[in-house]
Amino acid sequence: MPMEPAINRQRNLKIFAGIALGCIALGIGYTYWVIQRADASIDPAQAQPQGTPLPIARPEELQAIQSEPHLIFLHQEGPHYGQVKLAGLEPESPLSARTELNCDRVHYAAGNGICLIYDTSLAAQDPLAAIPVWVRLFGSDFKPRHEFTIEGIPSRTRVSPDGKYAAFTVFVSGHSYADPSMSTATVLLNTATGESLGNLEEFEVWKDGQRFQAPEFNFWGVTFAQDSNRFYATLRHGNTTYLVQGDIADRKLTVLHKNVECPSLSPDGTRLVFKKLISAGIWQLTLLDLATMKETPLAEKESIDDQVEWLDNQRILYQKIDYDPPKWVSVFVLPADGSGMPEVFISNATSPAVVP
């Protein structure tokens, strides 16, 4: 089987009745990159299929990669655009494989994955129709086990380290976190059954020891702790964003810190890397020590609108434009302590998920 280039050193279920997402999906026929705003300067023609597709990986080929640390990501070039791929995590690993799964966002852990895909096929039939998002839960064979549709635009998704739960965020209005009028829905799922554990808007919110209530909260960017029951996310109230710590069993959210978006918890559970808003539509990747609440800006000089993935306890992965020809969105790696400089980890890729 033709192999993908090695990684440089350096992304029907029971339709749950509890989700009432009465909304209109803005943006008709846009690709995922318009949704994420990361590639406004990239020629869309580069996304068109070209060349000869590689064959779908056989089960034994998938198992060979899954037997060692590997990366799951979305390929963003040629005939495999949007397809979920796997590659060995070590730079010298020659292993890579392509699956049948197409997504706009993907995440995976402990044999369970979640795939969000924006169904643009309806736009050609009815330009005014609300465009659905397919939410697909899949296993280690990368075949959907549960699936359903909701209205919105896919944004963030995560699977808990033990594979027990998944979370996803969609825009129900607007398509950017820089839009003050945007509205989101963030839902937790049981990956085994596909059942909803609820929208985060249904959880109690506590701030400074008191119930925190408002006509409207927006939540996004869930990241799970090792025990799965505990998680972190962003809450926005008015023009202020907060880091909240969640408890699934107690259905409770506690405000911890201001100006935190799209947190990602380190494997050892001691730190978060998040987007810090420094001016309108401009974010700085920042490290937060959970014991001291001390912030450390990271060495990425560009604005990053992504939820990072931890490669290990020292480094993070995230997507941004790679300006080397042919200029495309790639996954970069960066030390998580404020040192170093970003480097390309894997080209023409997004939505990385590290499987140690």
What pLDDT does 131 receive? 78
**CATH number of this structure's domain 32-355, picked from the four choices 2.60.40.1120, 3.40.50.300, 3.40.50.1100, 2.120.10.30:** 2.120.10.30
Give CA–CA dist 22/43, Å, rounded. Answer: 34
Give residue-wise pLDDT tens across range 166-178: 999 999 876 677 7
What pLDDT does 129 receive? 67
Give CA–CA dist 35/174, Å, rounded. Answer: 10
Nearest 5°: the CA angle 108, 351, 325 is: 145
pLDDT of 72 > 60? The answer is yes
Location of structure tokens 């020659």: 94
Location of structure tokens 């009815």: 126
Give residue-wise pLDDT tens across range 137-189: 999 999 999 999 998 899 999 999 999 999 999 998 766 777 776 789 999 99
Task: Tell me 347's DSSP state.
Answer: S
Torsion sign over Cα 287, 73, 155, 331 = positive
pLDDT of 36 > 50? The answer is no
Contact call for residues 82 and 74 (beta carbons, < 8 A): yes
pLDDT of 125 > 80? The answer is no
Contact call for residues 54 and 202 (beta carbons, < 8 A): no
Mean pLDDT is lowest, of 79-83, 197-201, 263-267, for 79-83
Location of structure tokens 């450390």: 296
- Domain chopping of the chain, boundaries: 32-355
Q: For the chain, give the percent of residues with pLDDT over 70.
A: 82
